[in-house]
Amino acid sequence: MVDGLVHVALLILMPLPMLGLINRVKSIAAGRKGPPILQPVYDVVKLLQKGAVYSRTTTWLFVAGPIVALASSLLAALIVPLASTTSPFGFPADVFVFAYLLGVGRFFTMTAALDTGSAFEGMGASREAAYAALAEPALFLALMIVCIPAHSASFSDAFASIPAAGGLLRHPGLLLATLSLGVVLLAEASRIPVDDPNTHLELTMIHEVMVLDHGGPDFAFIQIGYALKFFVLGAVLVHLVLPIPASGWMAPVLFVAGQAGVAITVGIIESFMARLRLTRVPQFLIGACVVAAVGVLVLFTGGRP
Amino acid sequence: MSLNADLLLLLVIGIDLFIGSTGRLGARIRACALQGLVLAALPLAIQGTGVLTGGERVLHTVLAVLATLLLKAVAIPYFLMRAMRQSGVQREAEPEHSLHLSLLLCAVLVGLSFWISAVMLPPPEAGSSPLGVPAGLATLLVGLYLTVGGRTELTQVIGYLVLENGVFVIGQRVLGEFPLVVELGVLLDVLVAVMLMAVLVAFGHRQDPSAAGNGAATPVGGAR
């Protein structure tokens, strides 16, 4: 019961401030003071109080997009264990459901973008589809690295089977899984070097261009869903890197610290790296797939824990 | 020693993949230097089962590490860099296939080497890293691919160097400890080959300025 409450509290309170933390890290690196860490929360509250405008060319798909995106991210966040090795809402084979929940959200975001009939949004949707198709194998291969030793396709079993001592060198595949999942996180959450969340030039952006026509509460839903997506992928990363205990007060503390670490790392990457050229992004994602594939191979050569 | 052999060998494989996926010569040479550094650290991570013991063994290890470091991580990359600057070739000229394909090919080669070492070769002795032979084989195959697939002299030399690194890794894993003579022989082999190639590249450059135009800097339809 308490575990469930902690889980829900974390997934309500953390995602948006994490985005604020990234922006704060970026502003410090650039020598600015930067917006408050809670700025994304203020933005969402402001958006929720507004009304929405719908174009006459759009259909129910356009309205459904943000809602489904938010709902699927929320479900995914319920499945992944947060401040414990087991999730109160986990079930056998939830790894697959997790990956496809992200897929469903992406599909509806893309459909909503296409529904507007805008050429720019169609371009964004096409890019999103192309990169997601490359990021998904990397995600699956990286999750395989933790799932195969556990002989189970559920997050709870997989995370519980990661040995606690020894950091990232607990077994050699783990390091590769972390690297590859890190790239997936950057791609799925549309961060630099795959996409730039701050750009407002339609020709170069991917995620932002798909949601150009959404306003008011719809846009707020998209923002929350996006933050949640970043949050859940970050949670998986944290579990790979840090030995989160199964219970006790240390677990939430370690988890929050780990997530802050993820946000700060992403912020540092964004401060010191430029966005990759669009034609170079597939190379980056294929690289992540290959790294994860090597990790899976390593498992079968006796590198097994 | 507290160095983790598994990690070092993973790094070797990672560098193979990086070299296979980048088109810039400078990045490739730097990656080669890094690989040399990793190889130099490798003897420290191996608990050898050789005949040498005590002071002799320590001396041998120190010498091997220093020689590898000096040649593979410093001297050879330096000459390569110089050759690159002299020849004016900055990146792989119009690669025959895209870098995506090259990276995927390298990945297939890595997979192949894991498969070969799992299916065809005897299992590693207890105590040695199970990654040794696959990592060496992968490096060798990727090096072979780069040597054969390279279009400029420099990319071929880099490929050859990667290939030799693979031989080095496998040798170290199979023999446990290289006899010093063999070790020096391999190192000198590489050095001589690379220096010769470097001279050749520079010579060709001086002889025929248009021959330097293998690089991306050449205007289309220029040299060839």
SS3 B91: strand
Residue of A nearest to B126 (CA): A302
Name the DSSP letter for residue B73. I
Helix (DSSP H) and strand (DSSP E) numbers for chain A: 12, 0
d(CA A98, CA A158): 14
Q: pLDDT means per 10 residues in chain A (305 residues)?
A: 88 94 94 93 95 91 94 94 87 92 94 91 90 93 90 89 68 86 93 82 79 91 95 93 84 93 94 86 91 88 51
CA atoms of A22 and A260, how far apart (whole Å) = 9
The answer to whether the CB atoms of B17 and A291 lie below 8 A apart is: yes
Q: pLDDT at residue B199 above 60?
A: yes
Q: ipTM value of the model?
A: 0.79
Peptide bond into A193 cis (omega under 30): yes
Shortest alpha-carbon distance between residue B124 and chain A (Å):
10
Contact assessment for residue B105 and residue B145, using Cβ atoms and an 8 Å cutoff: yes
Look at A301 and B103 and tell me if their CB atoms are within 8 Å.
no
pLDDT tens digit sequence for A167-220: 566 677 888 899 999 999 999 998 888 888 877 776 777 888 888 889 899 999
DSSP character for B125?
P
For an interface test with B, give the residue of A294, A296, A299 to mutate (most B CBs within 10 A).
A294
Return the structure tokens found at A41: 């929360």
**Is residue B135 pLDDT above 70, yes or no?**
yes
B43-63 residue pLDDT tens: 777 655 455 566 777 777 787
For residue B119, the model assigns a pLDDT of: 79
SS3 B97: coil
Closest alpha carbon to B109 in B159, B60, B72, B155 = B159
Q: Which residue is it, tokens 């401040």?
A: A83
Instruction: Indicate the domain borders of chain A.
Output: 2-303
Average pLDDT for residues B167-188, to the nearest whole number? 67
pLDDT at residue A90, as a whole number = 86
pLDDT value of residue B221: 41
At residue B206, the pLDDT reads: 57
A294 contacts in B (CB within 8 Å)?
Answer: 10, 13-14, 17, 107, 110
Helix or strand run (H / E) with residue A107: helix A94-115
Interface contact flag, B13 A282, Cβ < 8 Å: no
Pseudo-torsion of CA B86, B90, B92, B94, nearest 10°? -110
| CA trace torsion B127, B132, B134, B135 (10° rounding) | 150
| Greater model confidence, B67 or A254 | A254
- Would you say residue B180 has pLDDT above 80? no
Please give the DSSP secondary-structure letter assigned to residue B24. B
Among A282, A283, A300, select the one facing B118 at the smallest CB separation. A300
What does pLDDT average to over chain B? 75
Residue B214 has pLDDT above 60, yes or no: no
For B24, phi then psi, to 5°, come to -85, 130
Q: What are phi and psi of A34, to 5 degrees?
A: 85, 160
- Residue to test with chain A: of B4, B6, B17, most A Cβ within 10 A: B6
Using left for φ > 0, alpha for ψ between -120 and 50, and beta otherwise, residue B48 falls in beta
Are the Cβ atoms of A291 and B6 closer than 8 angstroms? no
Per-residue pLDDT, A304: 43
